[in-house]
Structure 1
């Protein structure tokens, strides 16, 4: 029973932002696993879970070995606004142009953003190729990136 519960906990924290023990207990109950807050607390210790920042005011549980917070929008937005010069796309490839020497940092932030529609990135000195799946998600991704770039102009 304990190993089943531990697997369920890891599944929940990897698929959702869980900030409190009570939220975690409720998600387990939703899956048919009856637990108390005390049991969840013990499980968190046994699994070695820790909290990572999601935003300035929010954190979530993460498993050991997880290197980056789930979403990194603040850092990514800042990097995009400070370094990106142009965004375009063709089919399922988004091309992002940056100031010279900045493409790797932006690509790494995109990779760690864990956006489900992004398969991966390839970065040169000032150009990033973002491979997107499905093709229908490309325009939404481009709109998100250009929207963040335009935020600076509106300030």
Structure 2
């Protein structure tokens, strides 16, 4: 990745990027690499001549919706949630917390048990579809159960982790 001529050097000799430029660079790094630690992203940025602190990286990752996820082989990696808006995801998280009662994965399929209030499964399935989460191929909903299809086991694990993380702790 090349750093353009229009970026000035900071006092530490590295390249100065404003927040927007730095976050765009971080997002691109996550798209092109498998990142397992925040130190790894710091090292890549330093190799590119960008000097930032661990605290700045943490804030940028939170703003970019980059979260820890488990792979099928048990390794932890960071992945960026591709979101329409942060507000839509916050609503999803709230609805998961309030209405998801159980979660199970069978290969590339997640089964979500919801409260039977007002056919809530249909509402949550529609929200998942509207967010166009790349790891979700499609959903089917009944009155209190959602079947979430993914293309493979790894994508299903990603969806499981996303939902499980936001469930009421007393139900886990």
> What is the TM-score with the length of structure 2 in the denominator?
0.46
* Within-5 A mapping of 1:112-123: 112-123=130-141
Matched, 1:99 2:115: yes
Identify the residue that residue 135 of structure 1 maps to in structure 2.
Answer: 153
Tell me how far 1:82 sits from its aligned partner.
Answer: 0.8
Match of 2:84 in 1: 70
TM-score by length of 1: 0.51
Determine helix, strand or coil for the equivalent of 2:139. strand
Any conservation in 1 of the 2:111–2:147 contact (CA below 8 Å)?
yes
Indicate conservation of the 8 Å contact 1:70/1:112, yes or no.
Answer: no
CA drift at 1:140 = 2.0
Q: Distance in 2 between matches of 1:139 and 1:130?
A: 11
Q: How many residues matched? A: 90
Unaligned runs of 5+ in 2: 1-19, 25-62, 64-82
Structure with the larger strand share: 1
Confirm or deny: 8 A CA contact 1:111 1:120 kept in the other structure.
Answer: yes
Q: State the distance in 2 between where 1:136 and 1:124 align.
A: 25
Deviating 4+ runs (over 4 angstroms): none
Partner of 1:7: none
Match of 1:109 in 2: 127
